[in-house]
Amino acid sequence: MVSDLRTFKTKRLMKKSKYISRKPDEKGFVAYSAEETSVWHDLFVRQMKLLEHRACSEYLDGIKALGLTADKIPQIPEINERLRALSGWEVAPVPALIDFQAFFELMANKKFPAATFIRTREELDYLQEPDIFHEIFGHCPLITLPVYADFMHEYGKLGLQANHADRVMLARLYWFTVEFGLIQSSQGLKIYGGGILSSFGESQYCLDSDKPLRHPLEVIEAFRTPYRIDIFQPLYFVINDFSELFGLSKLNLLDLITQARTLGMHAPLFPPKPKDQESRFL
């Protein structure tokens, strides 16, 4: 769970991270410690057990396609070899903090930004910055799916054309789809948003709780809907399939942003955040 734009990678500039990305060697590999590997193992085992019947099948297929296991933290060169073959994408190692322009440039060039640090055991359930578990485990399995990867590519290109104010609105769409989206399948409602898939608490709450609203995705409604990053989401938007997601990139999203502004923003479905409460990312 993460401020307006908090999980949206580029807004990491808003707050200095206490984490520092690990520097790879000349071949792009990082020498993770035994403790870091143990943290990955525990996160992976816990989450895979939970997601077996909660995540969409495309995501679970992507886990296998990338060769992700509990035994080691993925190395970006190995992930890239598989991603390039499956969808033409790569993962780009970045510092914990990057700006809007860098984010959209990477996405427009079929590169998904990922910091190479992993959370500490003290922050196993949530942390302030998206780490390699969130980025690789949460997001990369679906980038193996060409239709999903194509949506991300078009989204990146659109972001390069948008001004700052429109990028803020585009971040809402990213939040309600790529980060916290649900999908209707023949086996029932499933998870595809990376912010949920990497969150132990929210991957249970989003499907089991009777508290949140679950609405079919309407783009203008997503643009009009505020969210908070430090709570379980009060509203999830649902797509029917990934071709619907790709179809969003073919709409005139900048015009729809203008329409959303004309209609006005919806009242928040949550109370104001206490001023002394620190943001947390699951």
- List binding-site positions for Fe cation: 134, 139, 179
Q: Is there a contact between 90 and 112 (Cβ–Cβ < 8 Å)?
A: yes
Tell me how far apart the alpha carbons of residues 89 and 42 are, in angstroms, rounded to a whole number.
Answer: 28
Tell me how far apart the alpha carbons of residues 60 and 280 are, in angstroms, rounded to a whole number.
Answer: 26
Q: Mark the binding-site residues, compressed into ranges.
A: 134, 139, 179
CA dihedral 229, 230, 236, 237 (to 10 degrees): 10
- Give the DSSP per-residue string, 28-49: S-----HHHHHHHHHHHHHHHH
Tell me how far apart the alpha carbons of residues 10 and 234 are, in angstroms, rounded to a whole number.
Answer: 24
> Smallest Cα–Cα separation from 118: which of 187, 30, 246, 227?
30
- Give the DSSP per-residue string, 71-120: SSPPPHHHHHHHHHHHHS-EEEEE-S---HHHHHHHHHTTEEEEE-----
Alpha helices in 176-225 (DSSP H): 194-197, 200-208, 219-224
Q: Is there a contact between 222 and 176 (Cβ–Cβ < 8 Å)?
A: yes
Tell me how far apart the alpha carbons of residues 115 and 105 are, in angstroms, rounded to a whole number.
Answer: 16
